[in-house]
A and B are shown apart, each in its own frame.
Chain A
Amino acid sequence: MSAAADVIRVRVPARTWRSEARAIKIVWRRELTRFVNDRMRIVTSLVQPLLFLFVLGSGLQRLSSAGTHGVNLKTFIFPGILCIAVMFTAMFSAASIVWDREFGFLREMMVAPVRRSSIVIGKCLGGATVASFQGVIVLCLAGAVNVPYDPLLILGIFGLQLLLAFTITAFGIMVAARIKQMQSFMGVMQMIVMPMFFLSGALYPVSGLPSWLAVLNRIDPLTYAVDPMRRIVFSHLHVSAAARQALDPGVTWWGWRLPAVLEAGVVLALGLVMLAIAIWEFSTSE
């Protein structure tokens, strides 16, 4: 019979930068495919930011109107809420690596003839893409909280949240390399993410804080993502100088106000360091 002749044979080429790029791309695409298939997740991960923005924002507005110099509290916390939406989605994306390990799929990727770094990078970019997609949905709500739909504003905020999504995913993957159980992973992430959120100034201005809080605030990486976003939002608002002074004081190091580019640089640098650690951890394991 000619069964043998019909066999379509393929070959696996030696590793090149192109094959690594293909590996990164397919791992990235898998994250997207899974996200798109999981409509429940898209909806449920929107609930929290909406609650913060419209329920907490509207409620606290009644208490704080004296201190906001006429600026809507929802407008003020909008950048912070956007950050938390991105952060939670990024965290869940990183958690998928723990699932992958539990359901064995990680092994399929680990034995492929590609660098471990390609898999980690693909995973990280995938998580970042998914998280910033979530950010874009929140960004669409800008008009509802008096943030103008200015192309420059949208572009700037989009870039910053992409950066944040990348850094948080890298952080999550770094943690996932060590913590192999889903419950412990979620516990650890909650323990880190909630303090990060509360310390970051997502919900309050960062000047005139008690000194212990000011120190913690400056250590919190999320501070450096929220502040430039708020700066962009306020640069597109018509508010009094006093309001600007009170609500958008900017992050200072020993009295020196950090430029937005440096703040973004801090987020990026942290992300790259954590990505490097994650790659190193996965390359040396198993």
Chain B
Amino acid sequence: MIVVPVSSSPPAIDVRDLTKSFGDVEAVRGVSFTVTPGEVFGFLGPNGAGKSTTINMLCTLVTPTTGSAYVAGYDVTRQRDDVRRHIGLVFQDPTLDGYLTAEQNLRLHAELYGIDRAAIPARMRQMLEMVDLWERRDAPVLTFSGGMRRRLEIARGLMHSPRVLFLDEPTIGLDPQTRSSIWRYIRALQQTEETTIFMTTHYMDEAEFCDRIAIMDRGEIVVLDTPEALKAAVGADRVMIRTTDDEGALVGLAERFEIEATVAEGAVTFFVPSGEAFVPRLFAELGVPITAVNVSRPTLDDVFMNYTGSTIRDAEASSATERNRITMRVMTGGRR
């Protein structure tokens, strides 16, 4: 069934029941979503959740097994070139030519994309100024730091005024200062160029900058909403306690407070409506010595934990084996 969008502008990205299998492994298990033009849309999930495979399908680099995907109104399998003309890409791994200068890299890109020659110098200057690299335009990229290279990649991804910019982990491996400046460019860009931004990240704090986020886990989208709505849905404070006997604490919580808790990152973690008021009762009635306690408002970490049953770091650490996968599924099922 095809749903025709009512609004005058078609969605920037429209994905229905998209799957991708590599042999026996189902990397993406039927995802559906739409992204409206001008939106900053984030894909959040641990490594191996299927984010990169999804982004590669949308960029025409990987052919979907089943399902359909339209980017900027074009079919990613049947209209590859049209999709490519309208998207910009910034990959996780660098794709610059280190032996060429910043300017030569951008010019090469402009030529490959067939941009009108007369417009190239002005556009190039604008992009380089946006990422503060205009002064360094004649320096070989080899001499650039990691942050500068990433900025140059963003400038290049935008050189041809794409309608959708794909950013695959744009800030991975960068220092906090560079990360925040990259976010400043992304925001500025979205306002001035009306570009739709589709990005993947596994930094929870960065997902907060997105208009909407989809949490992906084990090849599926587990939830999709605005960061505020997702946090509101958790609706409870997170309490993390460190004890001398975690097992005893889990039993105590279940028996005395009817609270189901999990052990994550070495702390017993659970959710209660008002954390501060609960802590005194906890100390009085738990029956297990508590060495440390931490109460926090819901964050996206909690959202992630709420929907997947593990923190994003734990999920990454354990996404390797099938055994863990099954255990997690049981836990996830038990939580909901």
Q: Which of B75-99 contact A (CB under 8 A)?
A: 81-82, 84-86, 89, 91, 93-99
Question: CB within 8 A of B111: which of A10, A14, A26, A103?
Answer: A26
The 7 closest A-B pairs by CB, nearest first: A19-B114, A26-B111, A104-B95, A113-B84, A112-B112, A12-B85, A108-B95
Beyond A109-B112, A111-B89, 17 additional contacts (C-beta under 8 Å) are A4-B191, A8-B126, A9-B161, A10-B160, A11-B161, A12-B85, A12-B86, A13-B85, A22-B112, A23-B111, A30-B97, A34-B97, A103-B95, A108-B96, A108-B112, A113-B113, A114-B114
Tell me the smallest distance from the CB of A108 to a CB of chain B, in Å.
Answer: 4
Chain B residue with the shortest CB-CB distance to A23: B112
Docked complex Cα distance between A47 and B119 (Å)? 44
> B108 within 8 Å of A by Cβ?
yes
Docked complex Cα distance between A133 and B159 (Å)? 33
> B193 within 8 Å of A by Cβ?
yes
Tell me the smallest distance from the CB of B197 to a CB of chain A, in Å.
Answer: 16
Question: CB within 8 A of A37: which of B85, B95, B99, B109?
Answer: B99
> A7 within 8 Å of B by Cβ?
yes
What are 25 of the A-B contact pairs (CB < 8 Å)? Answer: A6-B126, A7-B192, A10-B120, A10-B123, A10-B159, A10-B160, A11-B161, A12-B113, A12-B115, A13-B114, A18-B114, A25-B111, A26-B107, A27-B112, A33-B104, A34-B99, A37-B140, A103-B95, A104-B91, A105-B96, A107-B91, A107-B95, A111-B60, A111-B84, A286-B61
> B59 within 8 Å of A by Cβ?
yes
> B122 within 8 Å of A by Cβ?
yes
Tell me the smallest distance from the CB of B156 to a CB of chain A, in Å.
Answer: 8
Chain B residue with the shortest CB-CB distance to A286: B61
Interface of A is mostly: helix
Q: Which residues of B contact A26 (CB under 8 A)?
A: 107-108, 111-112
> A15 within 8 Å of B by Cβ?
yes
**Interface residue total, chain B, C-beta cutoff 8 A:** 42
Chain A residue with the shortest CB-CB distance to B110: A10
Chain A residue with the shortest CB-CB distance to B107: A26
Is A34 within 8 A of B100, CB to CB?
yes
Q: Which residues of A contact B81 (CB under 8 A)?
A: 14-15, 113
> A66 within 8 Å of B by Cβ?
no
The residue among A8, A103, A109 with the most chain B CB atoms within 10 A of its own CB is: A8
Q: Which residues of B contact A286 (CB under 8 A)?
A: 61
Is B98 within 8 A of A103, CB to CB?
yes
Q: Which residues of B contact A30 (CB under 8 A)?
A: 97, 100, 108
Docked complex Cα distance between A30 and B141 (Å)? 14
Tell me the smallest distance from the CB of B104 to a CB of chain A, in Å.
Answer: 7
Question: CB within 8 A of A10: which of B61, B82, B94, B116?
Answer: B116
Chain B residue with the shortest CB-CB distance to A12: B85
> A144 within 8 Å of B by Cβ?
no
Is B95 within 8 A of A105, CB to CB?
yes
Binary contact readout B123-153 vs A (1 if CB under 8 angstroms, 0 otherwise): 1001000000000000010000000000000
Q: Which of A150-175 contact B (CB under 8 A)?
A: none
Q: Which residues of B contact A38 (CB under 8 A)?
A: 99
Tell me the smallest distance from the CB of B140 to a CB of chain A, in Å.
Answer: 8
Tell me the smallest distance from the CB of B44 to a CB of chain A, in Å.
Answer: 24
Q: Which of A1-52 contact B (CB under 8 A)?
A: 3-4, 6-15, 18-19, 22-23, 25-27, 30, 33-34, 37-38
The residue among B91, B107, B112, B115 with the most chain A CB atoms within 10 A of its own CB is: B112
Q: Which of A260-286 contact B (CB under 8 A)?
A: 286
Question: CB within 8 A of B114: which of A3, A22, A100, A103?
Answer: A22
Docked complex Cα distance between A279 and B320 (Å)? 37
